[in-house]
Amino acid sequence: MATSEPVRARHVAIIMDGNGRWAKKRHLPRALGHQRGVDAVRRVVRGARELGVEALTLYAFSTENWRRPEEEISDLMGLMKRFILSDLDEFAAAGVRLKIIGDYKAFRPDVVELVEGAVARTADNSGTTLAVALNYGAQDEIARAAIKAAAKGAITPDTIAAELDTADLPPLDLLIRTSGEVRLSNFLLWQAAYAELLFTDVLWPDFSVDHLRDALEMFANRDRRYGGR
């Protein structure tokens, strides 16, 4: 008797949490935790591409992160710039398409210029899409989408969904949060309506391709009924 093929996760999102706790456990500066977090981003993006994930959305900077100390925000911006400068060539060559969700134009002009250049350079790539959430909040996204939908006519779930920042991505299949926290923190609230959720105690700097592979295998074995039987 033939068995059905496992369901593959096309779109995976990750709340990358635990950089500060990773550093604190090791009595290291918080900035070093963020640096190790960037290393984790690098290997997970590569792993997602190798594992056939079509879209990977990473929560890099939320609208609430502006409440952090100015020095930490500056460190994060510097890390973002270095990441783009050091890895863009590799991602472009590998067919990765960079997409930004959220209001990234609130950042410093040099960061905005670099981000827009990276998005433009990879716009025609057809491999894995790396969507980075910058100055992103899901409630703000939904409000913006509703305003756009209302300007065009009727407001329905379909018309709002068509105006979301992720409208050109596959539906969200799997949302992962690291570090043991069990909440969505204003991330992809609309998109997560029927996504599978996975909360892990692994701190983000320790998150590996093996952890991602295990998460994808877990997803493939879940029975997704979407409210039915």
DSSP codes of every residue in 169-186: SPPP-EEEE-TT--S-TT
**Is 17 among the catalytic positions?**
yes
* Residue 6 belongs to a domain: no
The whole-angstrom separation of Cα 76 and Cα 177 is: 20
Q: Is 133 helix (H, G, I), strand (E, B) or coil?
A: strand
* Residue 99 belongs to a domain: yes
Pick the catalytic residue: 19, 39, 65, 206? 65
DSSP codes of every residue in 63-90: GGGGGS-HHHHHHHHHHHHHHHHHHHHH
Enumerate helices (H) and strands (E) in the chain, giving the number of each.
7, 6
**Is 186 among the catalytic positions?**
no
pLDDT tens profile 44-71: 999 999 999 999 999 999 999 999 899 9
* Residue 106 belongs to a domain: yes
> Does 4 have pLDDT greater than 80?
no
Average pLDDT, the chain: 93
By CB atoms closer than 10 A (0-12, 13-18, 19+), residue 182 is: exposed
* Residue 226 belongs to a domain: no
Q: What is the pLDDT of residue 1?
A: 40
> Does 122 have pLDDT greater than 70?
yes
Assigned token pair, 20: 């500060």
The whole-angstrom separation of Cα 138 and Cα 190 is: 7
Q: Which domain holds residue 41?
A: 11-220
CATH number for the domain harbouring residue 126? 3.40.1180.10
pLDDT tens profile 175-191: 999 999 999 999 999 99
* Residue 189 belongs to a domain: yes
Q: Is 219 helix (H, G, I), strand (E, B) or coil?
A: helix
* Residue 68 belongs to a domain: yes
* Residue 3 belongs to a domain: no
The whole-angstrom separation of Cα 222 and Cα 229 is: 13
Mean pLDDT to the nearest integer, 161-165: 98
* Residue 190 belongs to a domain: yes
Give the pLDDT band (50/70/90) at residue 75: confident
Domain count within the chain: 1
Cα 43 from chain centroid (whole Å): 14
Q: What is the pLDDT of residue 26?
A: 97
By CB atoms closer than 10 A (0-12, 13-18, 19+), residue 126 is: exposed
Q: What is the pLDDT of residue 112?
A: 94
Model pTM score: 0.93
